[in-house]
């Protein structure tokens, strides 16, 4: 059984802080280059990569490695799919291509939050409200807009981190809520992997955003222990999608209950 110590599992505090704060090392030279070429030039000046052989891992000190070499992340989150609108924000203000051109000139990763509710929506019939999209997207389904986003990111050499941000958009504390059982949350990931797991630029899965409140770790509490849920989730996805070579991102819980009373606030996310 896969354990959370696997080299492809990254405790994501450092990674997400790099994304949110835009930290990069002095080796960084610019956004990744894509297009129709069969190779992608990474941020390290001398590194040239075949899109078909990308292998993501992490080192014991938390560094992100691409084909065994350090990869320096500079990224942002593009919110919307996890909200009530269930659509990327801003697509009624600027064309998607213009936004992604700006991102490409400044970043190399986009973190894409989504909700369980969105992932389980009908892919053939779900459509965004017409007032929140424009510039040629009006006739597309919500999933076709997302397909276009993934494809245009790939054309620009932008890597995408999928992030199961919430269940229905109300900041759920656990991985299940109301009628949405654990099975729903896992199925939501399977849907996203089935549709986008074969995209070379889908490089990471942020398994759950900011576990907090009732969330626990290592307390032998099956209803609240995130460590055991993560293991069940990763094992199932790894069995079903064995060819995916990306990173599993594991966020920490809000409180540390080990030996402290009352619990001590820790890294939330």
Dump the DSSP string for 34-98: -TT-SEEE-SSTT-EEEGGG--EEE-TTS-EEETTEE----EEE--STTSTT-S-TTTTTS-HHH
Mean pLDDT of the 55-70 span = 92
Tokens standing for residue 29: 């030279």
Q: How far is residue 114's CA from residue 93's CA, in Å, rounded to a whole number?
A: 21
Provide φ and ψ at 137, rounded to 5°. Answer: -95, -5
* Averaged confidence pLDDT in the chain: 83
Which neighbouring-strand residues pair with 161? 111, 204
Q: Kindly tell me if the per-residue pLDDT of 258 is higher than 80.
A: no
| pLDDT above 90: residue 232 | yes
Q: Give the pLDDT confidence score for residue 255 in this predicted structure.
A: 76
pTM: predicted TM-score of the whole model, two decimal places: 0.82
Question: Which residue has better confidence, 6 or 93?
Answer: 93
Query: Are the beta carbons of 59 and 65 closer than 8 angstroms?
Result: yes
Dihedrals phi, psi of 29, to nearest 5 degrees: -125, -10
* Cα→Cα distances 46→26, 28, 111, 180, 205, Å: 14, 11, 26, 47, 27
At 51, is the pLDDT very low, low, confident or very high (cuts 50, 70, 90)? confident
How far apart are the two ends of the chain, measured CA to CA in Å?
25
What's residue 152's pLDDT?
A: 98
Contact between 81 and 115 (Cβ < 8 Å) = yes
Question: Residues 15, 21: contact at Cβ < 8 Å?
Answer: no
Tell me, what's the pLDDT at 98? Answer: 98
Task: Pick 190 or 262 by higher pLDDT.
Answer: 190
Alpha helical stretches, state H, the chain: 13-21, 96-106, 116-119, 142-155, 182-196, 226-240
For Cα atoms 81, 77, 201, give the angle at the middle one, nearest 5 degrees.
90
Residue 214 has pLDDT above 70, yes or no: yes
- Model confidence at 115: pLDDT above 70: yes
Contact between 250 and 230 (Cβ < 8 Å): yes
Q: Which is it for strands 202-206 and 159-166: parallel, antiparallel or unpaired?
A: parallel
């Amino acid at each position: 059984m896969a354990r959370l110590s696997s080299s492809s599992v990254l405790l994501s505090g450092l990674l997400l802080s790099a994304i949110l704060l835009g930290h990069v090392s002095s080796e960084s030279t610019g956004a990744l280059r894509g297009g129709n070429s069969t190779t992608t030039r990474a941020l390290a000046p001398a590194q040239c990569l075949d899109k078909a052989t990308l292998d993501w891992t992490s080192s014991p000190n938390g560094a992100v490695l691409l084909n065994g070499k350090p990869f320096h992340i500079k990224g942002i989150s593009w919110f919307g799919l996890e909200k009530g609108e269930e659509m990327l924000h801003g697509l009624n203000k600027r064309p998607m291509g213009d936004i992604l051109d700006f991102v490409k000139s400044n970043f190399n990763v986009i973190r894409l939050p989504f909700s369980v509710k969105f992932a389980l929506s009908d892919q053939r019939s779900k459509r965004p409200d017409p007032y929140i999209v424009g510039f040629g997207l009006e006739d597309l389904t919500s999933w076709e807009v997302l397909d276009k986003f993934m494809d245009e990111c790939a054309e620009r050499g932008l890597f995408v981190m999928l992030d199961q941000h919430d269940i229905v958009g109300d900041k759920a504390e656990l991985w299940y809520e109301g009628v949405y059982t654990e099975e729903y949350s896992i199925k939501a990931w399977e849907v996203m992997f089935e549709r986008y797991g074969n995209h070379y630029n889908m490089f990471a899965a942020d398994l759950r955003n900011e576990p907090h409140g009732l969330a626990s770790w290592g307390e032998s509490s099956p209803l609240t222990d995130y460590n055991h849920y993560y293991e069940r989730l990763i094992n199932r996805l790894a069995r079903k999608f064995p060819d995916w070579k990306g990173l599993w991102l594991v966020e920490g819980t809000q409180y540390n209950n080990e030996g402290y009373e009352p619990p001590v606030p820790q890294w939330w996310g």
